[in-house]
Chains A and B, each alone.
Chain A
Protein backbone atom coordinates (compact mmCIF):
# COMPACT_ATOMS: atom_id res chain seq x y z
CA UNK A 1 0.00 0.00 0.00
CA UNK A 2 1.16 3.52 -0.77
CA UNK A 3 2.75 5.08 2.37
CA UNK A 4 0.47 8.15 2.21
CA UNK A 5 -2.60 5.91 2.07
CA UNK A 6 -1.22 3.75 4.85
CA UNK A 7 -0.89 6.87 6.98
CA UNK A 8 -4.47 7.89 6.20
CA UNK A 9 -5.64 4.37 7.11
CA UNK A 10 -3.90 4.78 10.47
CA UNK A 11 -5.71 8.11 10.98
CA UNK A 12 -9.05 6.43 10.24
CA UNK A 13 -8.32 3.61 12.69
CA UNK A 14 -7.18 6.12 15.29
CA UNK A 15 -10.47 8.07 15.00
CA UNK A 16 -12.54 4.90 15.50
CA UNK A 17 -10.45 3.59 18.42
CA UNK A 18 -10.20 6.98 20.15
CA UNK A 19 -13.96 7.63 20.03
CA UNK A 20 -14.65 4.09 21.25
CA UNK A 21 -12.36 4.62 24.24
CA UNK A 22 -13.95 8.02 24.94
CA UNK A 23 -17.45 6.53 24.78
CA UNK A 24 -16.45 3.60 26.99
CA UNK A 25 -15.12 6.03 29.63
CA UNK A 26 -18.29 8.13 29.51
CA UNK A 27 -20.53 5.09 29.93
CA UNK A 28 -18.28 3.71 32.67
CA UNK A 29 -18.67 7.03 34.52
CA UNK A 30 -22.45 7.01 34.06
CA UNK A 31 -22.91 3.30 34.83
CA UNK A 32 -26.20 2.88 36.70
CA UNK A 33 -27.49 6.31 35.62
CA UNK A 34 -28.09 4.82 32.18
CA UNK A 35 -30.75 2.50 33.58
CA UNK A 36 -34.37 3.42 32.95
CA UNK A 37 -35.59 2.04 36.28
CA UNK A 38 -34.58 0.58 39.67
CA UNK A 39 -35.21 -3.12 40.27
CA UNK A 40 -37.07 -3.83 43.57
CA UNK A 41 -33.90 -5.37 45.06
CA UNK A 42 -32.07 -2.01 44.78
CA UNK A 43 -35.03 -0.18 46.34
CA UNK A 44 -35.15 -2.68 49.21
CA UNK A 45 -31.41 -2.12 49.71
CA UNK A 46 -32.05 1.63 50.06
CA UNK A 47 -30.30 2.65 46.83
CA UNK A 48 -33.28 4.62 45.51
CA UNK A 49 -33.99 8.17 46.75
CA UNK A 50 -37.21 8.76 48.72
CA UNK A 51 -39.67 11.47 47.71
CA UNK A 52 -38.27 12.20 44.22
CA UNK A 53 -39.54 11.03 40.86
CA UNK A 54 -38.03 7.67 39.98
CA UNK A 55 -38.99 4.58 38.00
CA UNK A 56 -39.13 1.01 39.21
CA UNK A 57 -39.50 -2.09 37.10
CA UNK A 58 -40.07 -5.81 37.44
CA UNK A 59 -42.76 -8.45 37.19
CA UNK A 60 -46.27 -8.03 38.61
CA UNK A 61 -46.43 -10.64 41.38
CA UNK A 62 -48.99 -13.38 40.91
CA UNK A 63 -52.14 -12.84 42.97
CA UNK A 64 -51.08 -9.39 44.16
CA UNK A 65 -53.29 -7.18 41.97
CA UNK A 66 -56.05 -5.57 44.02
CA UNK A 67 -58.49 -3.29 42.22
CA UNK A 68 -60.69 -0.92 44.24
CA UNK A 69 -64.38 -1.36 43.46
CA UNK A 70 -65.36 2.32 43.55
CA UNK A 71 -62.39 4.06 41.91
CA UNK A 72 -59.55 3.55 39.42
CA UNK A 73 -57.17 2.80 42.25
CA UNK A 74 -55.18 -0.39 41.93
CA UNK A 75 -52.61 -1.89 44.29
CA UNK A 76 -50.09 -4.50 43.26
CA UNK A 77 -46.64 -5.83 44.05
CA UNK A 78 -43.70 -5.58 41.65
CA UNK A 79 -41.05 -8.23 42.15
CA UNK A 80 -37.70 -9.18 40.67
CA UNK A 81 -37.86 -12.50 42.60
CA UNK A 82 -35.24 -11.11 44.99
CA UNK A 83 -37.33 -8.39 46.66
CA UNK A 84 -40.90 -7.04 46.51
CA UNK A 85 -42.15 -3.50 46.04
CA UNK A 86 -45.70 -2.44 46.95
CA UNK A 87 -47.18 -0.08 44.33
CA UNK A 88 -50.35 1.96 44.35
CA UNK A 89 -51.69 3.63 41.24
CA UNK A 90 -54.85 5.52 40.30
CA UNK A 91 -55.59 5.61 36.60
CA UNK A 92 -56.05 3.51 33.49
CA UNK A 93 -53.71 0.56 33.08
CA UNK A 94 -52.22 -0.40 29.68
CA UNK A 95 -53.86 -3.36 27.88
CA UNK A 96 -50.90 -5.65 28.44
CA UNK A 97 -50.91 -5.15 32.21
CA UNK A 98 -51.49 -8.45 33.96
CA UNK A 99 -50.01 -10.71 36.62
CA UNK A 100 -46.59 -12.18 35.80
CA UNK A 101 -46.08 -9.54 33.10
CA UNK A 102 -43.24 -6.99 33.14
CA UNK A 103 -44.05 -3.39 34.09
CA UNK A 104 -42.23 -0.11 34.54
CA UNK A 105 -43.86 2.29 37.03
CA UNK A 106 -43.00 5.97 37.43
CA UNK A 107 -43.69 7.83 40.66
CA UNK A 108 -42.36 8.50 44.16
CA UNK A 109 -41.26 6.24 46.95
CA UNK A 110 -42.79 7.21 50.31
CA UNK A 111 -40.89 6.66 53.61
CA UNK A 112 -42.88 3.49 54.43
CA UNK A 113 -41.60 1.82 51.24
CA UNK A 114 -44.87 2.22 49.30
CA UNK A 115 -44.39 3.31 45.69
CA UNK A 116 -46.99 5.89 44.65
CA UNK A 117 -47.09 5.64 40.85
CA UNK A 118 -48.40 8.26 38.45
CA UNK A 119 -47.68 6.19 35.35
CA UNK A 120 -47.70 2.46 34.65
CA UNK A 121 -46.12 1.13 31.45
CA UNK A 122 -46.28 -2.49 30.30
CA UNK A 123 -42.90 -3.97 29.43
CA UNK A 124 -43.21 -6.41 26.60
CA UNK A 125 -40.83 -9.37 26.46
CA UNK A 126 -39.07 -10.76 23.41
CA UNK A 127 -41.40 -13.77 22.96
CA UNK A 128 -43.73 -13.90 19.98
CA UNK A 129 -46.05 -16.86 19.35
CA UNK A 130 -49.54 -17.62 18.09
CA UNK A 131 -52.30 -18.10 20.74
CA UNK A 132 -52.55 -21.85 20.03
CA UNK A 133 -48.85 -22.33 20.76
CA UNK A 134 -49.17 -20.32 23.97
CA UNK A 135 -52.13 -22.51 25.05
CA UNK A 136 -50.21 -25.68 24.28
CA UNK A 137 -47.24 -24.41 26.27
CA UNK A 138 -49.45 -23.58 29.24
CA UNK A 139 -51.09 -27.01 29.13
CA UNK A 140 -47.79 -28.86 29.04
CA UNK A 141 -46.53 -26.74 31.95
CA UNK A 142 -49.59 -27.36 34.13
CA UNK A 143 -49.53 -31.05 33.22
CA UNK A 144 -46.08 -31.53 34.68
Chain B
Protein backbone atom coordinates (compact mmCIF):
# COMPACT_ATOMS: atom_id res chain seq x y z
CA UNK B 1 0.00 0.00 0.00
CA UNK B 2 2.70 2.49 1.01
CA UNK B 3 4.91 1.38 -1.87
CA UNK B 4 2.08 2.26 -4.26
CA UNK B 5 1.63 5.58 -2.49
CA UNK B 6 5.32 6.43 -2.85
CA UNK B 7 5.38 5.40 -6.50
CA UNK B 8 2.55 7.90 -7.11
CA UNK B 9 5.05 10.56 -6.21
CA UNK B 10 7.09 9.76 -9.29
CA UNK B 11 5.89 11.75 -12.34
CA UNK B 12 7.37 9.27 -14.80
CA UNK B 13 5.63 6.33 -13.14
CA UNK B 14 2.34 8.26 -13.23
CA UNK B 15 2.81 9.11 -16.90
CA UNK B 16 3.37 5.45 -17.82
CA UNK B 17 0.52 3.99 -15.78
CA UNK B 18 -2.01 6.70 -16.77
CA UNK B 19 -1.23 6.01 -20.43
CA UNK B 20 -2.13 2.36 -19.90
CA UNK B 21 -5.31 3.20 -17.98
CA UNK B 22 -6.45 5.64 -20.69
CA UNK B 23 -6.12 2.92 -23.34
CA UNK B 24 -9.14 1.09 -21.94
CA UNK B 25 -10.89 3.82 -19.93
CA UNK B 26 -11.36 6.13 -22.93
CA UNK B 27 -13.21 3.56 -25.11
CA UNK B 28 -15.39 2.47 -22.15
CA UNK B 29 -16.31 6.12 -21.57
CA UNK B 30 -17.21 6.64 -25.23
CA UNK B 31 -19.41 3.52 -25.30
CA UNK B 32 -21.20 4.34 -22.02
CA UNK B 33 -21.92 7.95 -23.01
CA UNK B 34 -23.09 6.96 -26.49
CA UNK B 35 -25.38 4.17 -25.26
CA UNK B 36 -26.72 6.28 -22.39
CA UNK B 37 -27.37 9.35 -24.55
CA UNK B 38 -29.08 7.46 -27.39
CA UNK B 39 -31.16 5.38 -24.97
CA UNK B 40 -32.10 8.36 -22.80
CA UNK B 41 -32.76 10.87 -25.55
CA UNK B 42 -34.49 8.64 -28.12
CA UNK B 43 -35.78 5.42 -26.55
CA UNK B 44 -36.75 6.27 -22.96
CA UNK B 45 -40.47 7.14 -22.68
CA UNK B 46 -41.59 10.78 -22.19
CA UNK B 47 -42.63 11.91 -18.71
CA UNK B 48 -46.35 12.00 -17.81
CA UNK B 49 -46.20 15.67 -16.78
CA UNK B 50 -43.19 17.25 -18.47
CA UNK B 51 -43.27 15.40 -21.79
CA UNK B 52 -39.90 15.44 -23.47
CA UNK B 53 -38.33 18.34 -21.57
CA UNK B 54 -37.47 16.03 -18.65
CA UNK B 55 -34.76 14.45 -20.85
CA UNK B 56 -32.37 17.16 -19.64
CA UNK B 57 -31.87 14.98 -16.54
CA UNK B 58 -29.63 12.74 -18.65
CA UNK B 59 -27.12 15.61 -18.70
CA UNK B 60 -28.13 17.71 -15.71
CA UNK B 61 -28.07 14.98 -13.05
CA UNK B 62 -24.67 13.45 -14.02
CA UNK B 63 -22.91 16.84 -14.21
CA UNK B 64 -24.50 18.01 -10.95
CA UNK B 65 -23.50 14.78 -9.17
CA UNK B 66 -19.94 15.11 -10.46
CA UNK B 67 -19.70 18.79 -9.56
CA UNK B 68 -20.22 17.67 -5.93
CA UNK B 69 -18.12 14.49 -5.83
CA UNK B 70 -15.41 16.20 -7.89
CA UNK B 71 -15.10 18.75 -5.10
CA UNK B 72 -14.25 16.00 -2.61
CA UNK B 73 -11.64 14.65 -5.03
CA UNK B 74 -10.12 18.14 -5.22
CA UNK B 75 -10.21 18.69 -1.43
CA UNK B 76 -8.71 15.25 -0.68
CA UNK B 77 -5.95 15.89 -3.22
CA UNK B 78 -5.34 19.24 -1.53
CA UNK B 79 -5.15 17.59 1.90
CA UNK B 80 -2.67 14.97 0.62
CA UNK B 81 -0.57 17.78 -0.80
CA UNK B 82 -0.67 19.67 2.50
CA UNK B 83 0.27 16.63 4.60
CA UNK B 84 2.71 14.69 2.40
CA UNK B 85 3.87 17.50 0.05
CA UNK B 86 3.16 15.21 -2.90
CA UNK B 87 3.55 17.14 -6.15
CA UNK B 88 1.14 14.94 -8.07
CA UNK B 89 -1.64 15.63 -5.53
CA UNK B 90 -1.18 19.35 -6.18
CA UNK B 91 -1.49 18.75 -9.93
CA UNK B 92 -4.65 16.68 -9.33
CA UNK B 93 -6.15 19.43 -7.17
CA UNK B 94 -5.67 22.10 -9.83
CA UNK B 95 -7.01 19.91 -12.65
CA UNK B 96 -10.05 18.99 -10.49
CA UNK B 97 -10.71 22.71 -9.92
CA UNK B 98 -10.82 23.40 -13.67
CA UNK B 99 -13.02 20.39 -14.42
CA UNK B 100 -15.27 21.13 -11.47
CA UNK B 101 -15.83 24.73 -12.56
CA UNK B 102 -16.92 23.51 -16.00
CA UNK B 103 -19.23 20.83 -14.60
CA UNK B 104 -20.82 23.23 -12.11
CA UNK B 105 -21.45 25.77 -14.85
CA UNK B 106 -23.08 23.05 -16.98
CA UNK B 107 -25.27 21.95 -14.05
CA UNK B 108 -26.47 25.54 -13.51
CA UNK B 109 -26.94 26.16 -17.23
CA UNK B 110 -28.89 22.96 -17.98
CA UNK B 111 -30.97 23.59 -14.86
CA UNK B 112 -31.86 27.09 -16.07
CA UNK B 113 -32.77 25.80 -19.54
CA UNK B 114 -35.07 23.21 -17.95
CA UNK B 115 -36.42 25.64 -15.35
CA UNK B 116 -37.93 28.03 -17.90
CA UNK B 117 -40.46 25.60 -19.44
CA UNK B 118 -41.05 23.66 -16.20
CA UNK B 119 -41.09 26.22 -13.39
CA UNK B 120 -41.71 29.31 -15.50
CA UNK B 121 -38.38 30.99 -14.67
CA UNK B 122 -34.69 30.56 -15.52
CA UNK B 123 -33.47 31.43 -12.06
CA UNK B 124 -34.73 31.58 -8.52
CA UNK B 125 -32.69 32.27 -5.39
CA UNK B 126 -33.60 29.12 -3.53
CA UNK B 127 -31.21 27.22 -1.26
CA UNK B 128 -30.21 24.54 -3.80
CA UNK B 129 -29.48 26.88 -6.70
CA UNK B 130 -27.75 29.52 -4.57
CA UNK B 131 -25.48 26.99 -2.85
CA UNK B 132 -24.58 25.47 -6.24
CA UNK B 133 -23.67 28.99 -7.43
CA UNK B 134 -21.44 29.34 -4.36
CA UNK B 135 -19.77 26.08 -5.46
CA UNK B 136 -19.01 27.63 -8.87
CA UNK B 137 -17.43 30.64 -7.13
CA UNK B 138 -15.37 28.30 -4.91
CA UNK B 139 -13.99 26.47 -7.94
CA UNK B 140 -13.26 29.73 -9.75
CA UNK B 141 -11.78 31.20 -6.57
CA UNK B 142 -9.30 28.32 -6.32
CA UNK B 143 -8.25 28.77 -9.95
CA UNK B 144 -7.87 32.53 -9.47
CA UNK B 145 -6.03 32.17 -6.16
CA UNK B 146 -3.43 29.89 -7.74
CA UNK B 147 -2.84 32.38 -10.56
CA UNK B 148 -2.60 35.30 -8.12
CA UNK B 149 0.61 34.01 -6.48
CA UNK B 150 4.05 34.24 -8.07
CA UNK B 151 5.37 31.72 -5.57
CA UNK B 152 3.67 28.51 -6.72
CA UNK B 153 4.52 26.59 -3.54
CA UNK B 154 2.63 29.13 -1.46
CA UNK B 155 -0.13 29.22 -4.11
CA UNK B 156 -0.73 25.46 -3.86
CA UNK B 157 -0.88 25.61 -0.08
CA UNK B 158 -3.39 28.50 -0.12
CA UNK B 159 -5.54 26.69 -2.71
CA UNK B 160 -5.54 23.49 -0.65
CA UNK B 161 -6.70 25.38 2.44
CA UNK B 162 -9.47 27.11 0.46
CA UNK B 163 -10.51 23.75 -1.02
CA UNK B 164 -10.75 22.27 2.49
CA UNK B 165 -12.76 25.21 3.79
CA UNK B 166 -15.20 24.83 0.88
CA UNK B 167 -16.01 21.18 1.67
CA UNK B 168 -18.60 22.43 4.16
CA UNK B 169 -20.71 23.55 1.18
CA UNK B 170 -21.11 20.05 -0.31
CA UNK B 171 -23.47 18.49 2.26
CA UNK B 172 -25.34 21.82 2.30
CA UNK B 173 -25.97 21.61 -1.44
CA UNK B 174 -26.97 17.95 -1.18
CA UNK B 175 -29.38 18.38 1.75
CA UNK B 176 -30.63 21.92 0.91
CA UNK B 177 -33.83 20.57 -0.68
CA UNK B 178 -34.67 18.63 2.49
CA UNK B 179 -33.64 21.19 5.10
CA UNK B 180 -35.45 24.18 3.62
CA UNK B 181 -38.45 24.95 1.43
CA UNK B 182 -37.05 25.33 -2.07
CA UNK B 183 -38.34 25.42 -5.62
CA UNK B 184 -35.95 22.66 -6.67
CA UNK B 185 -37.49 19.23 -6.10
CA UNK B 186 -36.00 16.75 -3.59
CA UNK B 187 -33.73 13.92 -4.75
CA UNK B 188 -35.30 11.38 -7.09
CA UNK B 189 -32.58 8.74 -6.75
CA UNK B 190 -32.62 7.60 -3.14
CA UNK B 191 -30.13 5.35 -1.45
CA UNK B 192 -32.23 4.22 1.51
CA UNK B 193 -35.64 3.83 -0.09
CA UNK B 194 -37.26 3.22 -3.47
CA UNK B 195 -36.29 5.76 -6.15
CA UNK B 196 -39.23 7.72 -7.54
CA UNK B 197 -38.34 7.27 -11.18
CA UNK B 198 -39.65 4.56 -13.48
CA UNK B 199 -37.02 1.86 -14.28
CA UNK B 200 -37.40 2.52 -18.03
CA UNK B 201 -36.09 6.06 -17.40
CA UNK B 202 -33.69 5.12 -14.61
CA UNK B 203 -31.43 2.66 -16.45
CA UNK B 204 -30.23 5.11 -19.12
CA UNK B 205 -29.73 7.71 -16.35
CA UNK B 206 -27.58 5.24 -14.41
CA UNK B 207 -25.49 4.54 -17.53
CA UNK B 208 -25.04 8.28 -18.06
CA UNK B 209 -23.92 8.82 -14.45
CA UNK B 210 -21.37 5.97 -14.66
CA UNK B 211 -20.32 7.27 -18.10
CA UNK B 212 -19.75 10.78 -16.75
CA UNK B 213 -17.68 9.38 -13.87
CA UNK B 214 -15.50 7.58 -16.44
CA UNK B 215 -15.36 10.78 -18.51
CA UNK B 216 -14.22 12.64 -15.41
CA UNK B 217 -11.43 10.08 -14.96
CA UNK B 218 -10.34 10.43 -18.59
CA UNK B 219 -10.40 14.25 -18.47
CA UNK B 220 -8.48 14.27 -15.17
CA UNK B 221 -5.77 11.93 -16.45
CA UNK B 222 -5.36 13.84 -19.73
CA UNK B 223 -5.17 17.15 -17.87
CA UNK B 224 -2.71 15.83 -15.31
CA UNK B 225 -0.49 14.25 -17.99
CA UNK B 226 -0.24 17.59 -19.76
CA UNK B 227 0.65 19.34 -16.51
CA UNK B 228 3.24 16.69 -15.60
CA UNK B 229 4.86 16.86 -19.04
CA UNK B 230 5.09 20.64 -18.93
CA UNK B 231 6.52 20.78 -15.39
CA UNK B 232 9.01 17.96 -16.11
CA UNK B 233 9.94 19.18 -19.58
CA UNK B 234 13.61 19.54 -18.69
CA UNK B 235 14.03 15.94 -17.50
CA UNK B 236 15.60 13.15 -19.52
CA UNK B 237 12.50 10.91 -19.75
CA UNK B 238 10.28 13.66 -21.15
CA UNK B 239 12.89 14.59 -23.75
CA UNK B 240 13.08 10.90 -24.71
CA UNK B 241 9.31 10.83 -25.30
CA UNK B 242 9.51 14.01 -27.40
CA UNK B 243 12.35 12.61 -29.49
CA UNK B 244 10.53 9.32 -30.01
CA UNK B 245 7.34 10.95 -31.25
CA UNK B 246 9.15 13.51 -33.41
Contact = CB atoms under 8 A, between A and B. Distances in A.
B147 interface: no
Given A121-B124, A125-B185, A128-B198, A16 B180 contact: no
Interface string A8-48: 11011001100110110001000000111101000000000
A130 interface: yes
Contacts of B121: 119, 121
A42 B198 CA distance: 35
A13 B117 CA distance: 44
Contact residues of B: prevailing secondary structure: loop
A23 B183 contact: no
Contacts of B161: 15
A27 B126 CA distance: 14
Contact residues of A: prevailing secondary structure: mixed
A34 B167 contact: no
B124 A127 contact: no
A131 interface: yes
Interface string B135-159: 0000000000000000000000000
A139 interface: no
29 contacts: A8-B82, A12-B83, A15-B161, A15-B165, A22-B168, A34-B127, A34-B180, A35-B127, A35-B180, A36-B125, A36-B127, A36-B181, A39-B181, A94-B118, A96-B50, A97-B120, A121-B120, A124-B50, A124-B185, A126-B185, A126-B187, A128-B201, A129-B201, A130-B46, A130-B48, A130-B201, A132-B45, A133-B198, A134-B49
